[in-house]
């Protein structure tokens, strides 16, 4: 499912226009992104938790020259931990 399909389903289920549903999705993603950038967490009870995790720098291999080592810098990556309700729904 992509963003457009999700907006169509939300519009239908919530009795709003597709444009309003797209705006809700955009607002949600912007809010989550800004919260993670500020080193925060977004928890939706039963669904899961979005967080940002710092991945340490390391030494890797240059794919173009496998004998050459390169330094990979530390980076912050998004992380999602699913909630119990979501896990249980997928088990059935």
Domain boundaries along the sequence of the chain? 1-38, 46-92
Instruction: Identify the sign of the CA torsion 38, 41, 44, 45.
Output: negative
- Model confidence, pTM: 0.79
Give the tens place of pLDDT for each residue, 27-65. Answer: 999 999 999 999 999 999 999 999 999 999 999 999 999
Best CA proximity match to 31, nearest among 47, 44, 20: 44
- pLDDT, residue 92, reads 77
What is residue 10's predicted lDDT score, i.e. its pLDDT?
96
Tell me the CATH class for 46-92.
few secondary structures
Mean pLDDT of the chain: 95
């Amino acid at each position: 499912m992509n963003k457009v399909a999700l907006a169509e389903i939300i519009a239908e289920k919530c009795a709003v226009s597709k444009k309003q549903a797209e705006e809700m999705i955009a607002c949600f993603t912007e809010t989550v992104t800004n919260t993670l950038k500020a080193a925060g967490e977004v928890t939706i009870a039963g669904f899961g938790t979005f967080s940002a995790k710092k991945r340490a720098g390391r030494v890797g291999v240059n794919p173009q020259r496998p004998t050459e080592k390169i330094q990979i810098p530390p980076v912050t990556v998004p992380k999602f931990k699913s909630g119990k309700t979501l896990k249980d729904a997928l088990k059935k």
